[in-house]
Each structure stands twice: as structure tokens, then as C-alpha cells.
């Protein structure tokens, strides 16, 4: 494994938790620096002092960049209670205006999902959201 090579002093890994644990065990006690990206849920936090319009654009960028197919996609949204209702209304309005089209077009907000198997993963998360009481809306079809 490359991580064990004597000339490697930093290991960065992105992947599953199981593989990350293996990399951690391999590098343990070696003195190597280690960074692991193991599919966590990156939160977007919106405080009541935020510029809400800018925050809405940040939310769109965070979750829809590369169709959300990045490990750091903003897949959790935490909004301070005093601005919650207004912010969610603004997000819904922005979602209605999403530009859908070719993934390589810089003017597009939402392109194609990269792989049919990933579409199944997305559908699973949508169903989980429904089961947890989430509001699911079709913005475009």
C-alpha cells in the first residue's frame, strides 16, 4: 500500500468508512499525517444575522454543485429559528428557478447524475426524507 511507503509523510483518503478504518490502521504509529473524508454530511448553517439571499445562493451551490455528487455537498441545512420560515420560503422560490441542462454548461444549476446506480442512492435518500417527515417536492421533471 502506498500509505506505508517511507517517502510518504501525509496520506489523504476519500472513500468508505470501512476503507478509511483500514487506512487508519495501516498508518497508525507511523507518524504520518492523515486526512480522511468518509462520506460525512456537511452542514450549511444559517444564522439570523445572515444575508438570507446570499445564504440561499450558498445553499444552492453547496448541494447542487456537481449534482451533489461530491463528498462535501451541503446535505444538511441548519437554520436559526427566527429566520427559519422566511429562509425556507426563499429556498423554495430559488429551487423553482433552478436551471437544468448539460452538466458542463456554467449557466446550469443542475446537470445529469453521473451514474444510474447513483440515481438509486438519491431515490433512497428521498424516500428516507419522506419517512422522516420531510417535505419532498418535484421542482422540475
Told to judge if 37 belongs to the known catalytic residues of this protein, a careful annotator would answer yes
> pTM here?
0.65
Helices in 4-115 by DSSP H: which ranges?
A: 17-27, 52-64, 84-96
The whole-chain average pLDDT of the chain stands at: 86
Given CA atoms 17, 21, 27, 29 in this order, what sign does their dihedral have? positive
What mean pLDDT do residues 114-123 have? 85
Give the model confidence (pLDDT) of 46-103 as tens digits. 999 999 999 999 998 888 776 766 767 777 889 999 999 999 999 989 988 888 888 8
> Going by C-beta distance under 8 Å and a sequence separation of 6 or more, which residues neighbour residue 24?
34, 36
> Going by C-beta distance under 8 Å and a sequence separation of 6 or more, which residues neighbour residue 50?
83
Q: What is the pLDDT of residue 136?
A: 76
Q: Which is the catalytic residue, given 18, 37, 81, 128?
A: 37
Domains, the chain, with CATH or none: 2-37 (no CATH), 43-131 (3.40.309.10)
On the question of pLDDT at 38 being above 90, the answer is no
Q: Give dist(CA 27, CA 3) in Å, integer.
A: 7
Amino acid at each position: 500500500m502506498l500509505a506505508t511507503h517511507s517517502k510518504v509523510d501525509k496520506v489523504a483518503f476519500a472513500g468508505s468508512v470501512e476503507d478509511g478504518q483500514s487506512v487508519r490502521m495501516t498508518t497508525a504509529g507511523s507518524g504520518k499525517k492523515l486526512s480522511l473524508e468518509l462520506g460525512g454530511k456537511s452542514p450549511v448553517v444559517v444564522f439570523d444575522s445572515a444575508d438570507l439571499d446570499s445564504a440561499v445562493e450558498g445553499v444552492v451551490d453547496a448541494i447542487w454543485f456537481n449534482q451533489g455528487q461530491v463528498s462535501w455537498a451541503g446535505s444538511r441545512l441548519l437554520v436559526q429559528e427566527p429566520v427559519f420560515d422566511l429562509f425556507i420560503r426563499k429556498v423554495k422560490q430559488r429551487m423553482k428557478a433552478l436551471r437544468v441542462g448539460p452538466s458542463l454548461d456554467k449557466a446550469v444549476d443542475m446537470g445529469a447524475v453521473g451514474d444510474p446506480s447513483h440515481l438509486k442512492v438519491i431515490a433512497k435518500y428521498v424516500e428516507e426524507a419522506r419517512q422522516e417527515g420531510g417535505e419532498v417536492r418535484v421542482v422540475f421533471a
